[in-house]
Each structure stands twice: as structure tokens, then as C-alpha cells.
Amino acid sequence: MEKAEKARMKHQRDQQIDHLKKALHLDPENVAARNNLSICLVPIDLASAIAHWEEAIRINPHIGLLFSNLAVGHALNHNLEAAEDAARRSIELDRTNSRARALLGLLLVEQHKYTTEALTLLERSANEYPMTYVFAAKTLIERGEFEKARAHIQKYLSDADMEYRDDAAEMLDFINRIGHPRELSQNR
């Protein structure tokens, strides 16, 4: 594990993978090695990464991070239902995890589930992950709550995180073009 960490620090992914595989050969139930190996494998062998996370969860089903990472793997593999299930399990294990809340909120929006649950998850994680304001705004736009969406976009644009600046500006333009419609009284 130490050699794998040194290889990671030197950006030597192939060596890191080799060291992690050796660690697993010595101790097949080393959950940390399995998780780290999965992370390394995501860009080159997503199916193996998912399989290693699933095995790590079989070994220790009480670590929320494993479920959160598995959710990302499933999302990258375009299996949003499995990703949602894993993200929900991650939250069950660690209700204070902002990353897991943000992830589940994003997954719900990606599945066009513009629910109160999705909105709450996104809003609760926005302080740590400002980009969730953009996805909360999308949810609000879909629900016809344009002024609330505008407020979320403005919060996002006032933050230093600008990864989704173009998306936020486009949403703001959309809200401005449609004028100031009366908020819908019912949620969808």
C-alpha cells in the first residue's frame, strides 16, 4: 500500500495498479486496496472497477464511501438506476455526507426526477458543492418555480466555482426571456 501511494504521488498509475494488485494478492479482503484499485481502473477498465467495488462492499457493507464510489461507477457506465440505489445506500450509512447527497441529487435530475427530494439534496450540499445550485435551478425551472431558480443561479454565479457558468448563464437568459411568470402554485 505504501508503494502504491508513492506511485500515486508520482502520477505513475501503472505502477500504482501493480502495487495495489500485489496488496490484494497478499490480502484479498483489503478493502482500501480494492477501493484504490477501482479508482485507478475507472478510466481504463470501468467494468473491473465496478466489480472491485462490489467485492469490497461484499467484504464490508458498512462503508458509505464504497457505495458512493460504486454509484459514480454505475453512473459512468450509464446505469443510473443502479447508481441511484448505491447512492441511497451511501446516504443510509452516512447521513452527513454532502458528497453522497449531491451525487444522489444529481442522479435524480439526470433521470428527470425533479422532485422535492432531489431539490432538498442539492440545496443541502450546495455550500460544499456550489455546482449543485445549477442542478437545483434546473429542477426548479422544470417545476415552474422560475424566481426560485433565478435565486439559485445568482447564488452560483456569485461563487468562485465557475465550471457550469455557461449553463447557469443560459438558464438565467431563459428565465429573463420568459419574463416574470406567476409561480406555479403546485409542485410537479
Residue-level pLDDT at 167: 86
Q: How confident is the model at residue 176 (pLDDT cuts 50, 70, 90)?
A: confident
pLDDT in tens, 138-167: 999 999 999 999 999 999 988 766 788 888
The Cα 29–Cα 90 span in angstroms is 20
User: Does 181 score more than 80 pLDDT?
Assistant: no
The pTM (predicted TM-score) of the whole model is 0.86
Q: Do the beta carbons of residue 42 and residue 74 sit within 8 Å?
A: no
pLDDT in tens, 95-132: 889 999 999 999 999 999 999 999 999 999 998 999 99
Q: How confident is the model at residue 83 (pLDDT cuts 50, 70, 90)?
A: very high
Q: Do the beta carbons of residue 32 and residue 61 sit within 8 Å?
A: no
The Cα 175–Cα 145 span in angstroms is 10
User: Does 184 score more than 90 pLDDT?
Assistant: no
Q: Could you list the beta-strand ranges (E) of 65-158.
A: none
Fold of 2-96: 1.25.40
Q: What is the dihedral of CA 18, 21, 26, 32, to 10 degrees?
A: 120
